[in-house]
Each structure stands twice: as C-alpha cells, then as structure tokens.
C-alpha cells in the first residue's frame, strides 16, 4: 500500500475530451465543460479546451467522451488501523474500496478495535492515535478522516477541548457507548460543537454489543450534526419516524448501504419532497457484520436513483459535494481550489441504458475506468466494477 507522504506532486495535469462532467454541486450537477487543468494536486481551471491553459502539461489524459465526477466520499466507515479490519479479518479493504470510486472516507468511530478502551483516558488516546496514524498513512492515496471517539459517561467539557487541541475533529456514533439519553448527549454534542468537533448519532436498533436503541426523540433532543445511518445500521426505526426526523431536524440525513433499503428510499424521497436534498449524504457503514462493500457507494447511488426516481446526477451529488460541504472536506466538487480527486466512469458494457446516467437510473452501476487522487492516477480500469464501455487513456508524462 502506497504512502502518499513519500511521493512527489502531480505537476501539471490536463484532463481533456470529457463527455459528461458531474460537478458534485446539487444546484448545478452537470457542468458545460470538457477540460480540467490540475497543478500539484489542486484543480486550477475547469472549462472548454480552447479557453484554458493546457500548455506544458506533465501528464495528459484523454477521457474519450466518457464521464468525470468528483471522487466519491464514504461518510460512514469504521476503520481500525492501517488497511485491515478485525471485524471481517480482511486486509486491503480500503484499497479495494478505491476501486469502487471512493477517494475519501470519514470514520464514525474506531469501534471494532479488539479490547477498545472505554475509560476516558483510553478513549481519548485511541482517538488521537487513530487521527495521527491515518493522517500519516493513506492506503493507495485514499484519505481516511479518522479519530472519532465514542463518548462515555463522565466526560466533561475539558475532555472535548483537549481532543480538539490534539487534532480530533469528529465524534464517533453517539449511542455506541454509555451515553444514550438525549439530555446527556445534547450537552456533550454542544461541547464538541463549541470546539469544532462534528458529531454523528446512531439511529435505530443496536448494532454492536454495548449499543442500544436510539429513537427519534433521543435524536431530536441530542441534535447531533449528522443523523447517522437514518435508515438503520442495521435495524431501522419505523418509516414514519424517519420521515419525521427529516422534517423536524435540520441536520444532515445520512443514508447507508448497510441499512434498511426500503427506508433508504423513503428518506431520500422525503428529503426531495421537503426541498432539502442538500442535506442527504451517503455512507456504507462498513466494515460491519454484513462485510466490506467496495462498491457500496455506487450500489447505493443506483438504488436511490432507480427506486426513488431521483435523477442520477443529483444522487451523485449526495455522495460527493453534499458530503464535502457538510463534512468540510476540500474535495467532492469540481471547481478551482479543490483537491483533484476524480472517478472516471462510463456505462457498463452491455447495460440497457443508452448513457451512463440512464444506466444508473435503470439500476445498474457504472464501470470505472480510472481513479485519481490529488492529481495522481491510482488505478486504471477497476477490478471490482463491471468493465466500462470506454476507458481514459494517458497520452504522455
């Protein structure tokens, strides 16, 4: 597994001949542009080939009229250390997920560590260690935003101040530890928010030993920043309660692969009906008892688009720009100043859809032809998706 810290910068990269450019911005999901110019891993220009500076490129990529989209962001994962998960005793799961188009992952807690400490000193030490290790190690370039402590009874405001000063920016799922009452959670969530730490709350029935039911009343009272796996992880709240959460809360609506699929559709449709699709973000909630899903985000996109009847270009925004904005990540949108993290896609071979977007809306996942992180090509044709009809070509270095 490559450690990006040991590598050079991308230099100037030109991506040309783009047939479909998905922006990640739900207010304008498709851009009228065919060329992207990158310098040292950062997007410099987006526009028509004739209008941008393509001279002196170190690398040129011809997309052959296929699709370029922001790299997908998995808003809900449970890493431990390195590219190994003890939950399924699997090595290489993060690199494999990159072959599913995911370039950034956000931890919802390092809960699967054998012997995970639950005392206050230990849980803080684990969070700081996880934050540091994934800041230093990126499996094949994938950005893992980790270090998400599971809050426990007895924590005080100074604990959250210490965590923030140490670089921790996330809380693990509220409800996986001993803090389960709404009033207790609300106080700690407020302390976290005061010091710039974003919170996620568990939704639905218990998932691991020590967790429990977190119902809609607790979620509304706790007022965490992210309504984690609103469709359950695995067991969902009643559909009417989920729709009520969408209506009564203003917080992010996180839909996951490892949850109730029927309720996932209901939550997505509720967000559209309430005219707040910008609140919807996607995750896998893996590794979990149901395994690791390298194509989990793509499968969730095709599920929501096809079953909830939402145009595919909007659903791709759920997994890119929406998450980037709500999670404050400098990726997920194709615009100058953002990280050059891209997934290059085309309709899968022999899909019944005539275009990539149509194929997704019919329920098929696309074929990935290339993944780029920080302007560096991380893989060619994906080993996990069905083969893309057309793939990008690197013309020169």
Q: What is the pLDDT of residues 47-91, one digit of tens each?
A: 999 999 999 999 999 999 999 999 999 999 999 999 999 999 999
Q: Which residue has the tokens 């209008």?
A: 51
Measured between alpha carbons, how far is residue 319 from residues 22, 96, 114, 163, 216 in Å? 12, 18, 30, 28, 24
User: What distance in Å separates the CA atoms of residue 234 and residue 203, rounded to the nearest whole number?
Assistant: 9
| Digit-coded pLDDT (tens) for 137-146 | 999 999 999 9
Q: Which tokens belong to 311? A: 């145009």
Quote the DSSP letter at residue 264.
H
Cα torsion angle, 94, 38, 376, 40, sign: negative
Q: 4-70+334-396 with 72-294: one CATH topology? A: no
Cα torsion angle, 356, 394, 101, 343, sign: negative
Q: What is the per-residue pLDDT for 205?
A: 87
| Digit-coded pLDDT (tens) for 307-329 | 999 999 999 999 999 999 999 99
pLDDT band at 189 (very low <50, low <70, confident <90, very high): very high
Q: Is domain 4-70+334-396 in CATH 1.10.10.10, yes or no?
A: no
Q: Which residue has the tokens 């008892």?
A: 289
H or E element: which one contains 20? Answer: strand 20-22
pTM score of the predicted model: 0.96
Q: For the chain, which residues make up each domain, given as ranges?
A: 4-70+334-396, 72-294
| Digit-coded pLDDT (tens) for 132-167 | 999 999 999 999 999 999 999 999 999 999 999 999
> Which of 256, 108, 220, 224 has its CA nearest to residue 173?
108
User: What distance in Å separates the CA atoms of residue 13 and residue 36, rounded to the nearest whole number?
Assistant: 8
Contact residues for 161 (Cβ-Cβ < 8 A; gap 6+): 191, 195
Q: What is the per-residue pLDDT for 206?
A: 82
H or E element: which one contains 345? Answer: strand 342-346
Percent of the chain past pLDDT 70, that is, above it, reads: 97
**Angle at the Cα of 164 from the Cα atoms of 163 and 166, rounded to 5 degrees:** 65
Q: Which tokens belong to 395? A: 């013309």
Class of domain 72-294: alpha beta
């Amino acid at each position: 597994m490559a450690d990006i810290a040991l590598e050079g910068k991308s230099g100037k990269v030109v991506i040309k001949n783009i047939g479909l450019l998905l922006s990640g911005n739900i207010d304008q999901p498709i851009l009228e542009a065919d060329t992207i110019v990158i310098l040292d891993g950062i997007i410099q220009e987006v526009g028509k080939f004739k209008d941008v500076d393509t001279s002196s490129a170190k690398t040129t990529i011809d997309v052959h009229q296929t699709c370029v989209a922001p790299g997908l962001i998995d808003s809900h994962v449970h890493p431990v250390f390195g590219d190994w998960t003890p939950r399924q005793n699997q090595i290489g799961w993060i690199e494999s997920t990159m072959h599913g188009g995911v370039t950034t992952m956000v931890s919802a807690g390092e809960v699967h560590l054998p012997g995970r400490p639950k005392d206050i000193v230990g849980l803080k030490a684990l969070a700081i260690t996880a934050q540091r290790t994934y800041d230093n190690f990126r499996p094949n370039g994938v950005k893992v935003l980790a270090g998400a402590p599971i809050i426990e009874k007895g924590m005080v405001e100074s604990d959250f101040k210490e965590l923030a000063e140490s670089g921790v920016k996330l809380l693990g799922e509220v409800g996986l530890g001993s803090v389960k009452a709404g009033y207790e959670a609300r106080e700690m969530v407020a302390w976290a928010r005061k010091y710039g730490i974003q919170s996620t709350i568990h939704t639905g029935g218990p998932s691991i030993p020590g967790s429990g039911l977190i119902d809609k009343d607790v979620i509304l009272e706790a007022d965490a920043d992210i309504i984690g796996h609103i469709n359950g992880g695995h067991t969902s709240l009643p559909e009417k309660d989920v729709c009520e959460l969408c209506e009564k809360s203003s917080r992010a609506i996180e839909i996951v692969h490892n949850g109730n699929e029927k309720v996932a559709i209901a939550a997505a449709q509720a967000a559209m009906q309430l005219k707040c699709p910008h609140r919807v973000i996607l995750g896998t909630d893996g590794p979990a008892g149901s395994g690791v899903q390298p194509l989990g985000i793509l499968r969730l996109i095709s599920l929501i688009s096809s079953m909830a009847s939402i145009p595919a270009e909007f659903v791709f925004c759920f997994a890119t720009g929406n998450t980037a904005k709500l999670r404050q990540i400098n990726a997920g949108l194709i615009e100058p100043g953002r990280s050059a993290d891209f997934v290059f896609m085309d309709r899968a071979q022999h899909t019944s859809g005539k275009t990539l977007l149509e194929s997704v809306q019919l329920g098929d996942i696309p074929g990935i032809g290339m993944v780029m992180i920080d302007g560096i090509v991380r893989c060619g044709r994906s080993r996990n998706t069905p083969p893309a009809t057309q793939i990008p070509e690197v013309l020169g270095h």
